[in-house]
Every structure is written in structure tokens, then in C-alpha cells.
């Protein structure tokens, strides 16, 4: 088995995870990365003395990262330094209406009591069920490959799943515990990471509230790309070969197996096993001959995608006030039929948005006396974006940002780069320009997600945000591990 050669397409979290786990099992592994910089959506870039994380900016579920590195006899601290944020983040509900979320649970309870007297007891009940879901979900369910219903044919598991409220929405679940509108919005916020509104996400995902409130919000000093740098170092320690500027443009197959990949430069590479950590839809519909596709165009068009994003990377030549590392702007009510943010192809009139200012925590990401800002507007996938639209929305959110923080920012911007649907498609071949993968709706959970195995080619596997267990950085780490275990099991068998 040790002589088997594996090629992994893509160097995002799931690609690096699968490659490193396979290398540790004795496989000869090569990662092929389309872009110049490793990391997939978690790439970085530098300009004018600023260092920008291009994608993920939240470090939640620290235990998942700890477990990943521990699998190889390492610790996160071997590769990067973690800082717990306190306050965890700020929520802007309106003018002069800002709530800083304390990291300390008792302080958090006091803040909620000011909004809804007597709510502490309800919060304890809410967190108790959320903790159960987290432990059962993150340490068991998400590690199942979801290739067969038989994986879940266990009476105790069935009872546990019923306790996880999978047939109840997060929206109704939260309202069983809380009445205050601000608390409800605060509790509904974490499911935005899962790509849908609380009305359409199963209450199973209150486990995200446990991750938020109990486990805390962290930051790897130097930026989120430090995680990628650590994973690349670890991969190389395990013998993985990483190649950048190596875009796969075709997968050839015959006799029920994938045989080789062709690169954009004309080079052809053969392998025993192929792992696709690139966009699943792109691999399925564009790299493979149609007869080897797992799914039809109709299937893909019916998938409910998590949102795309309009991003702005800003360098500001002064220090800013009234902003934390993470800032959520809920200063406008959700528009009617808020799920349109995610599923209907239109631009919102009054978008929610998020601002990260990592230089508040880490001065190394900006020149002295300056600030590094990352602005994000969640948007429906498959929108047409152009420069005029980007400028319009930049103006909308800057008006609100300056108003609620009481300062001039625009005239101090010395660097401004935008990034949206067309960029996600160009850089990642992202299906419909999505940023986060598939939404974690009930009908797109576990065995109802696109399969991690190709149904017609016995040696082609998929990993990442469009397959199990789902979107987000911790699930992507787990996805790579799950695929690696399936490959090892198949070849041992």
C-alpha cells in the first residue's frame, strides 16, 4: 500500500487535510494547486504593507484544530500562536445601540439579563442541549462518510438524532428559549456560517451556539493564513509534495478508474488514487467526461447553495475607534423573505454586513498607526457583479459604518480591493460564484449531500465544502480526514 500514488487537486483546508492523513498512512502524495499561493479560499495577499486574509476570518471550534494537529503528534502551538478575543465580537443593532459580546460566560449572562430579565436560566438550558449536539455531532456524526443509511442504523444513534431536533428549525427552536428580539438575532447569527437563514436550518445546528458561547472566538497571530502555513509545513514533514501554478484541466478515465490528470501546461500525471478538493461541480461537470459525472445538470441546479459574498480589503492610514476585531452590522431589519439573500438572484436593498479589523488585535498585519479592514456582504449566488454595482454597495455600507462608528474612514483609505462572484469563479471555479459551498439544510445533510465517492470510477474521491460534512473551516478539516480513511479502508480491503 505504501507505494500507491495519490494526487490531490486543490490546497485548501480539505485538500491539505486529506493529503497529510494519506501521507501519514504511507502513500506518496502530490497536491496540485491552481493558484500561486496555497490555501484555497484561505489564501493571503500583501500590498502597501498590509497583509490580508482573503477568506475565512473566524476561528471557532479550537478543539477541531487541536485534534487535527494531534493526529500527527503535533500541537497548534507548534505552528501558530492563538489569542482568545475578549470581547468576542461587537453587534451593531442601530445608532448608539452596540453590544460587545463578552468572552466570559457569566458576563455574557449579565449582558443578556439587561435585555431580558431572568433569561440566564433559559440560556443554561439552551447551552446544555447545544453541548450535547456539539459532542455527538462534531465527535461522531460528521466523521461518518455518509455513503449508506446503514452507517446510521443504530437505535441509540436514532434516539440521539431525535434529541438533536433535526426536524425543527433553528428559528422556532431559539424562540422556545428567548423572547427578546436582540437575543434572538444574536442566537441566529452563527447559522449564517451554514449558508441559510434560521428558518431553513435544522435546530441540530444550535451546536454552533455552543461553539460561539462556550468555546469562544480565537485568532491565530499573524492571520488566518498562519493555519495554512502550519498545515503546509506539516504536510511537507509527512512527505507531501506541493505544486503551485498547476491547474488541472482534464481527468482521463478508462476501465472504471481515473487514470491521469492533464495540467494547463500540457503535462500529464498518472496516479493510483485521485482526491478532488477543488470545486465539486467543476470537477464533476468540466474535468470529467460526462459519462463519468456523478450528477446531472438538473441535480446541480436544484442544490441550495450557501451565499456568495462581496468583499472589500481596505488599508486605512489611521487608527480607528469604536470597532472590535469582529463587528456584525444588524442595524437594518432583515428584508421580507430573508432567504432571498441566499437563494434568489437579486441584490438586497439594505444588506447585512460584517467588518473584521484584525489590526485591532494584531498590529503586524498593517503598517504602524494604520488599520487593516475586511468587509463582507453576504449575497445570493449566481448574481451578475460589475464594478458599478460593487461601488454602489461599497458606498452603502461605508455610509453605515461611518455613521455608527462616528468617524471619517473613506478619505483615509489608501488601499481598496474588491472581490465577488466573478472572482470566486475565476480563482476557484466556484459553482455559481458561491463562497461557502452548499447550505446545510435538512435535505442537504449527511447522505443527502453530494457523495464523497465517484459512483463510476472506483479511485476518485471528493472532499471539501460541497460534500460531507459541509461548509466551514472545521468541517473541511474533518472532510479531508474522512476521505483519507475511506481510501485507506478501500485499499486495505
What is 327-350 written as a DSSP string? EEE--SPPPSSTTHHHHSSS--SS
pLDDT at 337: 43
Contact 357, 332 (CB under 8 A): no
DSSP character string of 154-187 = -HHHHHHHHHTTTTSBHHHHHHTT---HHHHHHH
The pLDDT-based confidence of 158 (bands split at 50, 70, 90) is confident
Per-residue pLDDT tens over the stretch 189-213: 998 777 778 988 999 999 999 999 9
Coil, strand or helix at 178: coil
Per-residue pLDDT tens over the stretch 215-265: 999 999 999 999 999 999 999 999 999 999 999 999 999 999 999 999 999
Handedness of CA 194, 195, 197, 200 (dihedral sign): negative
Q: How many residues are listed for the chain in this entry?
A: 493
Three cell numbers at 71?
Answer: 493526529
pLDDT at 492: 74
Coil, strand or helix at 36: coil
pLDDT at 342: 54
Name all domains of the chain by residue range, CATH numbers in brackets.
Answer: 5-80+222-302+437-492 (3.50.50.60), 109-212 (1.10.405), 304-428 (no CATH)
Coil, strand or helix at 76: helix
pLDDT at 197: 83
Whether pTM exceeds 0.95: yes
Per-residue pLDDT tens over the stretch 275-302: 999 999 999 999 999 999 999 999 999 9
Mean pLDDT for the stretch of residues 31-45? 98
pLDDT at 3: 77
pLDDT at 344: 60
Three cell numbers at 84?
Answer: 482568545
pLDDT at 335: 61
Portion of the chain with pLDDT greater than 70, in percent: 97
Chain-wide mean pLDDT for the chain? 95
Rounded CA-CA distance 228/244 in Å is: 14
The gap from C-alpha 360 to its chain's centroid, in whole angstroms, comes to 23
Handedness of CA 134, 136, 140, 145 (dihedral sign): negative
Per-residue pLDDT tens over the stretch 439-469: 999 999 999 999 999 999 999 999 999 999 9
Mean pLDDT for the stretch of residues 163-190? 95
Instruction: Name the CA dihedral angle for 356, 361, 362, 366, rounded to a multiple of 10 degrees.
Output: 50
Mean pLDDT for the stretch of residues 66-73? 98
Coil, strand or helix at 284: helix
Per-residue pLDDT tens over the stretch 337-362: 455 455 567 899 999 999 999 999 99
Contact 6, 25 (CB under 8 A): no
pLDDT at 1: 47
Rounded CA-CA distance 300/293 in Å is: 11
Rounded CA-CA distance 420/298 in Å is: 25
Per-residue pLDDT tens over the stretch 316-326: 999 999 999 99
Amino acid at each position: 500500500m505504501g507505494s500507491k500514488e495519490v494526487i490531490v487537486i486543490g490546497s485548501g483546508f480539505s485538500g491539505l487535510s486529506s493529503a497529510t492523513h494519506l501521507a501519514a498512512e504511507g502513500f506518496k502524495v502530490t497536491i496540485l494547486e491552481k493558484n500561486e499561493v496555497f490555501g484555497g479560499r484561505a489564501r493571503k495577499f500583501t500590498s502597501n504593507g498590509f497583509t490580508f486574509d482573503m477568506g475565512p476570518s473566524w476561528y471557532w471550534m479550537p478543539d477541531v484544530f487541536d485534534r487535527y494537529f494531534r493526529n500527527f503528534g503535533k500541537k497548534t502551538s507548534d505552528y501558530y500562536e492563538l489569542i482568545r478575543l475578549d470581547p468576542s465580537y461587537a453587534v451593531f443593532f442601530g445608532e448608539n445601540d452596540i453590544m460587545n459580546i463578552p468572552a466570559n460566560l457569566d458576563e455574557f449572562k449579565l449582558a443578556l439579563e439587561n435585555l431580558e430579565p431572568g433569561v440566564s436560566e433559559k440560556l443554561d438550558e439552551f447551552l446544555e442541549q447545544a453541548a450535547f449536539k456539539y459532542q455527538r455531532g462534531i465527535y461522531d456524526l460528521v466523521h461518518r462518510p455518509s455513503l449508506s443509511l446503514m452507517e446510521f442504523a443504530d437505535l441509540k444513534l436514532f434516539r440521539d438524532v431525535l434529541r438533536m431536533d433535526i426536524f425543527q428549525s433553528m428559528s422556532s427552536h431559539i424562540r422556545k428559549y428567548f423572547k427578546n428580539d436582540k437575543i434572538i438575532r444574536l442566537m441566529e447569527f452563527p447559522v449564517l456560517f451554514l449558508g441559510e437563514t434560521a428558518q431553513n436550518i435544522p435546530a441540530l445546528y444550535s451546536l454552533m451556539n455552543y461553539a460561539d458561547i462556550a468555546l469562544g472566538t480565537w485568532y491565530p497571530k499573524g492571520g488566518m493564513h498562519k493555519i495554512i502555513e502550519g498545515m503546509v509545513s506539516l504536510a511537507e514533514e509527512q512527505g507531501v509534495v506541493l505544486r503551485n501554478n498547476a491547474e488541472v484541466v482534464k481527468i482521463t478515465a478508462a476501465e472504471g478508474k481515473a487514470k491521469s490528470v492533464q495540467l494547463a501546461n500540457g503535462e500529464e500525471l498518472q496516479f493510483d488514487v485521485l482526491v478532488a478538493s477543488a470545486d465539486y461541480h467543476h470537477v464533476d461537470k468540466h474535468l470529467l467526461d460526462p459519462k463519468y459525472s456523478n450528477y446531472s445538470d438538473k441535480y446541480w441546479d436544484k442544490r441550495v447553495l450557501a451565499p456568495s459574498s462581496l468583499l472589500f480589503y481596505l488599508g486605512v492610514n489611521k487608527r480607528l475607534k469604536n470597532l472590535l476585531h469582529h463587528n456584525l452590522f444588524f442595524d437594518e431589519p432583515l428584508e421580507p423573505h430573508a432567504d432571498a439573500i441566499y437563494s434568489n438572484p437579486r441584490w438586497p436593498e439594505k444588506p447585512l454586513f460584517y467588518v473584521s479589523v484584525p489590526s485591532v488585535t494584531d498590529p503586524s498585519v498593517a503598517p504602524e498607526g494604520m488599520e487593516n479592514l475586511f468587509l463582507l456582504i453576504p449575497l445570493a449566488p449566481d448574481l451578475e457583479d460589475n464594478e458599478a454595482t460593487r461601488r454602489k454597495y461599497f458606498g452603502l455600507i461605508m455610509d453605515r459604518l461611518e455613521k455608527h462608528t462616528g468617524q471619517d474612514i473613506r478619505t483615509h483609505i489608501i488601499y481598496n480591493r474588491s472581490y465577488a462572484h466573478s472572482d470566486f469563479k475565476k480563482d476557484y471555479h466556484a459553482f455559481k460564484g458561491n463562497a461557502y459551498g452548499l447550505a446545510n439544510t435538512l435535505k442537504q445533510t449527511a447522505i443527502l449531500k453530494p457523495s464523497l465517492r465517484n459512483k463510476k470510477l472506483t479511485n476518485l474521491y471528493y472532499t471539501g465544502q460541497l460534500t460531507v460534512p459541509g461548509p466551514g473551516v472545521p468541517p473541511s478539516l474533518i472532510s479531508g480526514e474522512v476521505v483519507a480513511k475511506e481510501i485507506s479502508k478501500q485499499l486495505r480491503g
